Chain A
Amino acid sequence: MTATVRIPTQLRPLTGGAGEVAATGSTVGEVLKALDAAHPGLGERLFDEAGRLRRFVNVFVADEDIRFLDGLDTAVADGQTVSIVPAVAGG
């Protein structure tokens, strides 16, 4: 499965400035792992030392928060959009 991953400003220096990149995987975890392989350094920005998603990183599949789905195990269908969005906003 190839997903489109939307990259926030804060991470664009690691994607050569691109706001959208393609990555392959059948779950969110796999897609993000593939992203790190293609753009080294991204992984440590998204995950803490224990391999958990950092607490101020939100990830959405087709605009749905993965915490309402299956977290990093959430399935990603071919052509779906995975968005990485900083959690600190609003209110």
Chain B
Amino acid sequence: MSFVDGLRCRECGRSYPAEALHVCEFCFGPLEVAYDYDAIATAVTRRSIAAGPPTIWRYAALLPAEPTGAVDLGAGWTPLVRADRLAAELGLGELWIKNDTMNPTGSFKDRVTSVALTKARELGFKVAACASTGNLANSVAAHAARAGMRSYVFIPSDLEQQKVVTTAVYGTTLVAIDGTYDDVNRLCAELTSEHPTWAFVNVNVRTYYAEGSKTLAFEVAEQLGWRAPDHVVVPIASGSQLTKIHKGFQELHRVGLLDDPSATRVSGAQAAGCAPVAAAFAEGHDFVRPVRPATIAKSLAIGNPADGPYALDAVRATGGSIGAVSDDEIVEGIRLLARTEGIFAETAGGVTVATLARLAADGVVRRDERVVAFITGNGLKTLDAVAGVVGPTATIKPTLEAFAAAVDTEGPTP
């Protein structure tokens, strides 16, 4: 059963029914799902969650949609792996990687899409849609196919070829827009007004969609034996994921699943070529000035981030920081994670690892902290980022002599 009380404006506090609304009709502030936490606290235990499915739906009591008949490809319950080799490289102590590359379509977006389309179906929608930098495009196209829903997916036309193909294959209507993601987003916000029977997962059902990211915090806490980490590093695009991870740890305490109030420090990671939230953090602003993105980290290339102000709030309230790293550092971050831990991340993961390295070097992320870095997308989606810098060690004739001449087998383990 659902424990949703309704929706509430995060800015002015006005209440709304739990319908397909994402914006306060009075002040345009974002709407948030309001839950009956006391009822959840009596209904849910660590044991009841452990008895649930190995997906995000084990946390259904803290999600705004009914798990029965969920639009589900198996999102969530991804590995949390101890990363000692990476920790040693960065001078850190206890470091964990939340490997969300392991989701059905290879990114954390499967969590939010599953929640959004489950709720959309409850509300009677037959059409799914989204504005996407690629990962969401994959996920909405796949989940809509699974649910038998018609779908419309809008992307910037300069997206990585891998993300175009891995969206189109699901039979969606894929529309490439001449412009940036922010242009795509603006068009979709306007299309939502013209097509109110479409469920735009990150527009008119965004209130529900965003809640799916809380499961990242829920899983990390459960996988650590119902303990919150000391410090998390999260990539920032719109800022929604970071905000919801922060909220997730707080909710676990609110409903009695964590003994202590969360003291988790939350730090954010951006690409220098699109760092409006990092810039606002550095300048001490509580607003975010939009930028025009220019970075290889296209999945984070949102110049006008909807939840930027809230991400700033979460980072400042918890004593975290926000870093911004160059494209070269992003590529090096991808390679470092792959080389030390055997995890191949897309460019957003490179941003996270490179920012973690910076924050560790600066002493912001400390050696005495239990640290979790969120790696949210699979490297096979952004092959171009590393295609120019990695490749065969040698190309040789099929002879022992050629091998011996071309390959040094005595060197150290990389």
Q: Interface residues, chain A, CB within 8 Å of chain B?
A: 6-10, 12, 19, 45, 54-58, 60, 63, 65, 67-68, 83, 85-91
- Chain B residue with the shortest CB-CB distance to A60: B186
Q: Which of A10, A56, A60 contacts B11 (CB 8 A)?
A: A56
Q: List 21 A-B contacts (CB under 8 A).
A: A6-B190, A8-B190, A10-B25, A45-B26, A54-B28, A65-B304, A67-B289, A85-B189, A86-B23, A86-B189, A87-B28, A87-B306, A88-B23, A89-B185, A89-B202, A89-B306, A90-B182, A90-B203, A91-B202, A91-B238, A91-B305
**Residues of chain B contacted by A68 (CB below 8 angstroms):** 290, 292
**Given A6-B190, A58-B186, A63-B183; A88-B131 close (CB under 8 Å):** no
**Residues of chain B contacted by A45 (CB below 8 angstroms):** 25-28
**Residues of chain A contacted by B287 (CB below 8 angstroms):** 55
Measured as residues with beta carbon below 8 angstroms from the partner, the interface class of chain B is: 35 or more
**Residues of chain A contacted by B238 (CB below 8 angstroms):** 90-91
Pairwise interchain contact B28-A86, C-beta atoms closer than 8 A: yes
Pairwise interchain contact B237-A56, C-beta atoms closer than 8 A: no
CA distance A10 to B185 in the complex (A): 17
- Per-residue 0/1 for B193-211: is the Cβ within 8 Å of any A Cβ (1 yes, 0 no)? 1101000101100100000
Q: Which of A6, A19, A86, A87 contacts B304 (CB 8 A)?
A: A87
Pairwise interchain contact B186-A88, C-beta atoms closer than 8 A: no
**Residues of chain B contacted by A19 (CB below 8 angstroms):** 193-194
CA distance A9 to B289 in the complex (A): 26
**Residues of chain B contacted by A9 (CB below 8 angstroms):** 192-193, 196
Q: Is B376 an interface residue (CB 8 A)?
A: no
- Per-residue 0/1 for B178-192: is the Cβ within 8 Å of any A Cβ (1 yes, 0 no)? 000111011011101
Q: Is B29 an interface residue (CB 8 A)?
A: yes
CA distance A58 to B288 in the complex (A): 13
**Residues of chain A contacted by B206 (CB below 8 angstroms):** 88-89
